Amino acid sequence: MNHPIRFTTPEEAVKVIKSGDHVHLSSVASVPQILVRAMTARGEAGELQHVHIHHLHTEGEALYAVPEMEGIFQLDSFFVGGNVRNITQQGFADYIPVFLSETQRLYRDGILPCNVAMIQVSTPDRHGYVSLGTSVDATLAAVECADTVIAVVNRHVPRSFGDSFIHTSQIDLFVEDDTPLIEEHFAEPNDLECAIGRNCAALIEDGACLQMGIGAIPNAVLSQLGSHKNLGVHTEMFADGVLPLVESGVINGANKKIDKGKMVSTFLMGSHRVYDFIDNNPGVLMKDVGYTNDPFIIAQNPKVTAINSALQIDLTGQICADSLGTRFYSGVGGQVDFIYGASRSEGGKAIVAMPSVTNKGISKIVPVLAEGAGVVTTRAHVHWIVTEHGAVNLYGKSLQERARLLISIADPASREELDRAAFERFGPHHHYIKSRCGI
């Protein structure tokens, strides 16, 4: 049944927000920017206090998180994107450590209230359904649990399939906006990133089901897969890098056990080519994050190959992908979800890929993690580690064996120092391990 829509202004719509409310924003390219601006204007006018904002990674200005809004809005994000990273580091915002797969549970299990969900959707079809487009993730759960749902109807939001459809009867207030979605364009990988990409690609088998994020290293990996066959995609997000492989037939999902022939994601970010690609495309399923990132669902597909990143790894295999020292970096995200899922997939491979050094030339393979560093992936979860200098598998290896393997793919200028640190930590037996590993 079609549900009649009455549009209102952003200023009128956000009047439903009360002091102390918890507000969810849809993610990445789908942030309802006109509602954010109207809500922030109410805060500037002194009409609101202590409003809690929740979201995953978002693009665009986070006007509610600037220092001047302290005491008016409190950002407690589930993932710290670049637009709120500095403000979080300065202590004007915070984040909630949570596996990406469980962000939806925070609402569905009543751990966090959702008083108002502010979302952006496609234009309604003739049956009265709109699509969440590029941002299903935890937004679907927020819509289900919110006291009030405000939707910006935008003709630029793609009509994606999967779990993205909601009926207009589930929406309380409608606002119209035709601003194009924010795009993200990624630079071509440099020589170092291409070397990492080649080392990762060498581990990817025909028929593998891929998970990888966005950025230079994922794009470098994807660029090396042109001769592969029957790859699938089950991931939390993807960007433009997959499109050439879909167009050439390399990605076809033929070897997947669940969602066979389909690409599965929960949110995405890229150029308009990606948004156009998923529009009315039944070959792409935008699913609830409780599905895409559930390790036990992930593991049902064979040869799941998950490629994630790290800030540091210590000689025992502990991976920091969250924070260094007391500085918040991004949040837990979906790394553990997919490492756990891939490691339990038949023929699966869990990979963490990173440059061996930072932009300042400091080794990212270290004797011990920086004080206060956030351990995202434990030494018990870690499997493959890849740098530009090679790939090693730590699974089933002792702590001393791990140290030797990691040193072998560290920056050559750092290896002697790392070797001394390993000797101090593990004692004379370290030299036996060194010869046993053939290093």
Alpha helices in 4-133, H assignment, sequence order? 10-13, 33-44, 82-89, 103-108
Residue where the block lists tokens 């959707």: 121
Q: Identify residue 263 by its one-letter amino acid code.
A: M
41 half-sphere exposure, CB direction, 13 A CA radius? 12
Structure tokens at 140: 């679907």
Q: Measured between alpha carbons, how far is 168 from 171 in angstroms, rounded to an integer?
A: 5
Q: Identify residue 286 by its one-letter amino acid code.
A: M
Q: Measured between alpha carbons, how far is 367 from 424 in angstroms, rounded to an integer?
A: 10
Q: Measured between alpha carbons, how far is 223 from 221 in angstroms, rounded to an integer?
A: 5
| 207 touches 186 (CB < 8 A) | no
Residues near 402 by beta carbon (within 8 Å), at least 6 away in sequence: 315, 316, 317, 379, 394
| 346 touches 303 (CB < 8 A) | yes
* Catalytic (active-site) positions: 236
The arrangement of strands across the sheet holding 148-153 comes to: 94-95, 73-77, 51-54, 22-25, 116-121, 148-153, 173-176
Q: At what angle do helices 412-426 and 399-408 cross, to 10 degrees?
A: 170
- Phi, then psi, of 400 in degrees rounded to 5: -70, -40
- Cα angle vertex 374, ends 52, 295, to 5°? 80
| 169 touches 146 (CB < 8 A) | no
User: What are the CA-CA distances from residue 210 to residues 42, 231, 276, 330, 358 (Å)?
Assistant: 44, 7, 21, 22, 26
Closest CA to 340 of 405, 274, 294: 294
Task: Evaluate the CA torsion angle 352, 355, 360, 362 in order and state its sign.
Answer: positive
